[in-house]
Amino acid sequence: MFSSLRSAQCLLGDFLVPWEIAIGTIGFLAAWIILLLIEQLGWTRYIWNIPLLFVALAILFFSTLGICFAP
């Protein structure tokens, strides 16, 4: 699965998808899961701006995965 991220485009069915979209989707879902976990643990009462935290987590995961799997 990860070997297909080494090229500029991934084949998804009959469509060629840029790898940035695939990595961005994975980063977005990872940030969403982490935010759900933080909300379940009740740690959101200590966070001033929760949407800003979500954006920061999404950018963090997108950039980290992008560096790891850049073609």
Position with higher pLDDT, 11 vs 43: 43
Beta bridge partners of 17: 10
Q: Which domain holds residue 10?
A: 2-68
- Please tell me the pTM assigned to this model: 0.78
pLDDT-based confidence at residue 1 (cuts at 50, 70, 90)? low
Interatomic CA distance for residues 2 and 63, integer angstroms:
16
DSSP class per residue in 1-42:
-GGGGGSSEEEETTEEEEHHHHHHHHHHHHHHHHHHHHHHHT
Please tell me the total number of residues recorded for the chain in this structure.
71
Domain count for the chain, please give it. 1
